[in-house]
Amino acid sequence: MDIQDHNATARWEALGSRDARSRGTAMEHISQEVMRRVESIGPIPATVPSPLATAGHSTSDLNDILARLLMMSKRCPFDDVRERCVWLLQNVQDLGVRIPRTLGNGPSRFIPEKEILQVSKVDPRTQSIFEDAFAALGRLDNISLVMGFHPQYLESFLRTQHYLLQMDGPLSLHYRHYIGIMAAARHQCSYLVNLHVNDFLQVGGDSKWLNGLDGAPQKLQALGELNKILAHRPWLLTKAHIEHLLKAEEHSWSLAELIHAVVLLTHYHSLASFTFGCGITPEIHSNGGHTFRPPSLSQYCVCDIANGNGHGHLEERRGNHQVSEVSGEVEVLMERMKQLQECRDEEEASQEEMATRFEREKTESMLVATAEDEECVPSRDVSRHFEDPSYGYKDFSRRGEHVPTFRVQDYSWEDHGYSLVNRLYPDVGQLLDEKFQMAYNLTYNTMAMHKDVDTTMLRRAIWNYIHCMFGIRYDDYDYGEINQLLDRSFKVYIKTMVCSPEKTTKRMYESFWRQFQHSEKVHVNLLLMEARMQAELLYALRAITRYMT
Amino acid sequence: MEKMSRVTTALGSSAISGRTMFCHLDAPANAISVCRDATQVVVAGRNIFKIYGLEEEQFVEKLNLRVGRKPSLNFSCADVMWHQMEENLLATAATNGAVVTWNLGKPSRNKQDQLFTEHKRTVNKVCFHPTEVYMLLSGSQDGYMKCFDLRKKESVSTFSGQSESVRDVQFSMKDYFTFAASFENGNVQLWDIRRPDRYERMFTAHTGPVFCCDWHPDDRGWLATGGRDKMVKVWDMTTNRAKEIYCVQTIASVARVKWRPERKWHLATCSMMVDHNIYVWDVRRPFIPFATFEEHKDVTTGIVWRHQHDPYFLLSGSKDSTLYQHMFKDASRPVDRANPEGLCFGLFGDLAFAAKESLISGDSNRKPYPGGDRRYPIFFFKKPDLTEQFAHVSSALSVFESSLESRHMDWFVKTARLYLLGGKPFAELCDHNAKVAKELNRPQVSTTWTMLRLMFSDPANLSTPGPNNISKLGNLPLMNSFSMKEMGTESRLDRSKGESRQDNIHLEPGNSLINSNNDENEETEGSEGQAEYMFGDAELDDDDLYSMEHEIQAVEEQEYTLPQEAFPLRHEIMDNPSVPEHLQQDKADSPHASGNEAEVMCLTPIESLSLIAISQPLFSPHLPAHFFCPVVREMLSHYAEQGDVQMAVSVLIVLGDRIRKEIDDLTQEHWYMSYIDLLQRFELWNVSNEVIKLSTCSAITCLNQTSTTLHVNCSNCKRPMSNRGWICDRCHQCASVCAVCHHVVKGLFVWCQGCSHGGHLEHVMNWLKSNSHCPAGCGHLCEYT
């Protein structure tokens, strides 16, 4: 059985090979296997009232394979595989077996499928990035597809993620995936949890761990606290937390392992933000990504209902209606940027003024309410992967407890964070550095329909606003700019996405920057994600540095 | 220049004195600077801006410049500099982008003089002109450098680096108009202060940010840079292209670098993260710091030499909120604790050994290494400066070579090449390998193969090979594996810079030639007989033997080559009895097996003098093959322990499943790894690959899967080929075309590394038989190895 399993995985993997011939053979094997199973179920299952009850095990097996074929037919970057998969599914259907169909529309709930790059129609560069990703993982996930709007960034992102998960590192493979699960579960991101549960099992992880953090080794349980703080209130992280992890006798972490874990945690926290922020839908072959029910039964995809988005069409219409009112939005924004650029040289705010502006922005960010009453129904019970579910983002500056502001000039990623990470986990510092810079500096000099716009100021405002929410201050930034450039609905979106991403809704996504392209909104999401990751990393690394000195 | 000399004389009159001392600051320091007469130091940081007087025994707080109830961000300093000409003038760089000057001569409490808020981002560095009173330069995160005339309200010129943030700016000490700027993207630019439009030159100094740079105080063209890549580099700027002349690798990113006054080759560095020490390096000895100051408990943020002509006082400020004065005499010298001995094996068994001269006694009867120390050039030419030197480490380097005519590992290479490990029936493989071993004069090995064949072959197949197959061990040739000879090699590497030219001396015959293991050797020589006895008796494993030989050979190294009686004897003793002994041991161990053993034993004398030989008729065909497994297992372990891991692995592969389960995986893996390692050291790539392929350990077979990526550039457009295949996706041409037949090469592709033309292996080989130029017609004289 094991060997059979092994062979099967190998075959699926071979579909990602660059060699057309080995793809062909693998495909051949798979179709034989499918046919064999179809035959073994017996003649036309439609005659049997409930095929699931009788055929049991073998049917569900077959269904898995069929779902996977469906995924391949949509997502595989190779034409030949896609065609063969479609053909095979058709054949199976002709034999009278019920085949699955995709649920939802495309990789993202927020972005219409036709806007997103089709796997079949991409420029050679993106094609080769997709092929690489496919060969490495055996899948092309929805996240990558959405990021495909920005191939330069995608490349850097995939390289980093691949290094973190697959290449040399102090932690063993199943630990890495488990930490990914822990981090994603903190934000109830069932998409990422599902993805990594599969990976975790594939690299030989113990399925007992998946029953909850209690089932995992003590060492990982100890990480729960760090995970919790880092995800929601990183400014509370102190060297005592680090010491607690490093000095736990037989369950203690080494510094290098801890850095690896911290990078993974922050990576998945921020990736969860991105997932929700772009409304990534479940993978086609996973639960909730496909259905065997015929289309007539339900019009809406399950997750849309779960997230209160059942009335998408209605909203869309309403959205269109509003566009006319706000058509000047982009121009206003550009005008403001221009003004800021010009007047900055003339009048200079006093120092006190600057300081209060930061404080004001900080307190104001508190008042920006995140969506309150949106109830989220995680499809898998993800809460068992972490403890203390009531712990969430609390605003940085609450009355009563005063946490000192984090000054970037005293501890910056470029000077301090990089050196520490690279020292303990070689090459990762470099990869992260490239990724941050890529996200921060990415621009096509366009804004909605306008060309040749210098967006530096806008990008910096977004970046600094996010850091501001985490209490990180840039001495040399005038926080008044944020108020000028970011309007309220945008702030609501940012705040929700960064602080409690699970509450992001389609309405929020649509209500900010209405005239901007989807690719620009994805760009904003990338900025948010990287800024959040850097903020968390800075706090974690500062705590580690303090521990070390 | 005139002013400079005046300053010098003025300072020369008042000698500084003091001791290592420190004081607590209220807050972490970001930078420090001294006034020109070395009596006061200013400390600046986010929450501190104070002047301390430097007294004999202690620091005394002189002035707090941070005044006012509401401290503004202008006080939050990233850098500070005290003017070296005008003692009342200070400048600070604020984290909010302001450049502030301070006049200590002001009567009011607030000494702030001018405020420039032209930079948009944090100012990282301010720098006064060394001789001009009113000229101030600043470098900021926004990528601009600005030059201010302090008599005016705003900057006189702005320099745009056209790249990322400026991390450091430094006026040249000698060239009035020149300044250097270092950038976050790794570049260093040189500017002429009169030409704000464009830099004079630019070069990439580091990967990642260059945090600091410093001009040499005396040498006009030298610039030291330090970066996040943990390197300190010294550049010679006098040539057309900036040339890296020294490079020091530190253990953490370099935050500050400062040349030491009056010492041409010394510079001090401190790090930005993790490492709290201050190091003083001699750039010519980049591997070990000349001196270390280890007082700080958190990263050092500012270092400055107290006086520009006094090399003995160093001041430093740190994140741990202390200000230190370090005395050079109190510095720790890592070199004193270093271990100056080194030992290394060469590929062909050469052994190099370097040790302190003092450890090696002076008398020796050896000839110097014929080449002198040509291979090891002396690096240090500096005149000895007895007051401040590295400890005189003069080491002697001895190189022991194996003789050329008997490459002692020849047998290994040949065996590896000739052995067949698969692809034929088991019996044939064994026969073949036995033959190989026999031809290489390794009778024991040969016999082992034969025995294996007999043990594990099907009885039915046994009829084919007749008894004449059995090896004849009559004349027991010597295994030549270890009869290597010592060519008498020794040289002395004089590593002390103080004695630079002394190296001639050890070419003089009278000079003491140093024998590193002299004493030891004599001892061994005296007891050689004993040693032999020991060898035979105790079955030392090969590793021991190996190292012993080296030592012993060192003794025998004379001008004439001694016939090495010791070795043949030793091998005889070792080779012959070991197997029977081994077998007898088995017998004793397992009475169950003894019957069979005895049988085997009694087969012995047919036509050879050997103690072991097997003839077929007496072999009991009823014994199942796995009956022998314990014996074979022990045999394999025996070979492996002897160091002949080749045998162990070869047998393992040939026997395959017959024996695999008998030996635990870890041991197998260990053997495989050792053998593969050996093969690769001998550059037997094909064999090693075959072994990897044939091995049954999963840990080994996966070796073939690692680093199988090969990056290629398209031969047309010279860009990396991003997708795999034969066609470059940029220029849509076939990428790898054979220069001879102009077809696409699939399979073995060989190309000249000089002109990067090439093609099918055979075609190129044929071509080169008749031509020496490149077949592509590029005119390159291709070289292939």
For B28-72, how does the pLDDT look when each residue is reduced to its tens digit (9 = 90+)?
A: 899 999 988 888 999 998 888 899 998 888 888 888 888 776 667
| Range in A160-164, B100-104, B712-716 with the lowest mean pLDDT | B712-716
A189 is annotated as an active-site residue: yes
How many residues does the structure list for chain B?
785
Work out the pLDDT band at B770, boundaries 50, 70, 90.
confident
**B253 in A contact zone (CB under 8 Å):** yes
The mean pLDDT value of chain B amounts to: 72
**A131 in B contact zone (CB under 8 Å):** yes
Residue of A nearest to B729 (CA): A124
pLDDT tens, N- to C-terminus, chain A (549 residues): 445 555 666 667 777 777 777 788 888 888 887 777 777 765 544 444 444 444 445 566 777 777 777 777 777 777 777 888 888 888 777 777 777 766 666 677 777 776 666 666 667 777 777 877 777 776 777 888 888 888 888 889 988 988 888 888 888 888 899 898 888 888 888 888 888 888 888 888 788 888 777 778 888 888 888 888 888 888 888 888 888 888 877 788 888 889 999 999 999 999 988 888 888 877 766 665 566 555 443 333 333 333 433 333 433 433 344 444 445 667 777 777 777 766 654 444 555 666 677 776 766 665 555 444 333 444 445 555 555 555 666 655 554 456 778 888 888 888 888 888 888 888 888 899 999 988 888 888 777 777 777 888 888 888 998 888 888 888 888 888 888 888 888 888 888 888 888 887 778 788 777 778 788 888 888 999 999 999 999 999 999 988 887
- CB distance B73–A475 less than 8 Å? yes
Of B74, B274, B723, Cβ closest to residue A351: B74
**B351, B486 Cβ separation under 8 angstroms:** no
One-letter amino acid of B510? G
Q: Please report the number of interchain residue pairs, chain A to chain B, with beta-carbon separation below 8 angstroms.
A: 83
- CB distance B46–A476 less than 8 Å? no
**B97 in A contact zone (CB under 8 Å):** yes
Residue among B186, B21, B283, B52 at smallest CA distance from B269: B283
d(CA A232, CA A224): 12
Give the three-class secondary structure for B780. Answer: coil
Question: What are the pLDDT digits (tens) for B103-126?
Answer: 988 888 888 888 898 888 889 999
Domain definitions of chain B by residue range: 410-456+626-704
Question: What are the pLDDT digits (tens) for A496-530?
Answer: 888 888 887 778 788 777 778 788 888 888 999 99
Q: Which of A76, A189, A278, A499 is catalytic?
A: A189
Residue among A464, A488, A461, A469 at smallest CA distance from A395: A469
**B748 in A contact zone (CB under 8 Å):** no
CA distance B118 to chain A (A): 8
Residue of A nearest to B228 (CA): A419
Beta strand pairing call for B322-327 and B123-128 = unpaired
- CB distance B70–A131 less than 8 Å? no
Question: What are the pLDDT digits (tens) for B594-645?
Answer: 344 434 343 334 344 444 444 444 445 556 666 777 888 888 888 888 878 8
B350 phi-psi bin (left φ>0, alpha ψ -120 to 50, beta other):
beta
**B340 in A contact zone (CB under 8 Å):** no
d(CA A328, CA B116): 38
**B184 in A contact zone (CB under 8 Å):** yes
**B299 in A contact zone (CB under 8 Å):** yes
CA distance A357 to chain B (A): 13
Phi, psi of B620 (to 5 degrees): -85, 115
B-chain residues near A415 (CB < 8 A): 209, 211, 228, 253, 272-273
Residues 6+ apart with CB under 8 A from B240: none
d(CA B140, CA B120): 8
Residue of B nearest to A418 (CA): B228
**pLDDT over threshold 80, residue B222:** yes
Report pLDDT for B696.
Answer: 76
Give the three-class secondary structure for B71. Answer: coil
d(CA B412, CA B146): 69
Question: Mutating which of B48, B164, B273 best tests the A interface, going by the most A Cβ atoms within 10 A?
Answer: B273
Domain definitions of chain A by residue range: 330-371+379-548
B-chain residues near A427 (CB < 8 A): none
pTM exceeds 0.80: no
* DSSP-assigned beta bridge partners for residue B41: B34, B52
Q: Is B447 exposed, middle or buried (0-12, 13-18, 19+ CB in 10 A)?
A: buried
From edge to edge, which strands make up the β-sheet containing B395-400?
B342-345, B351-356, B395-400
**A127 in B contact zone (CB under 8 Å):** yes
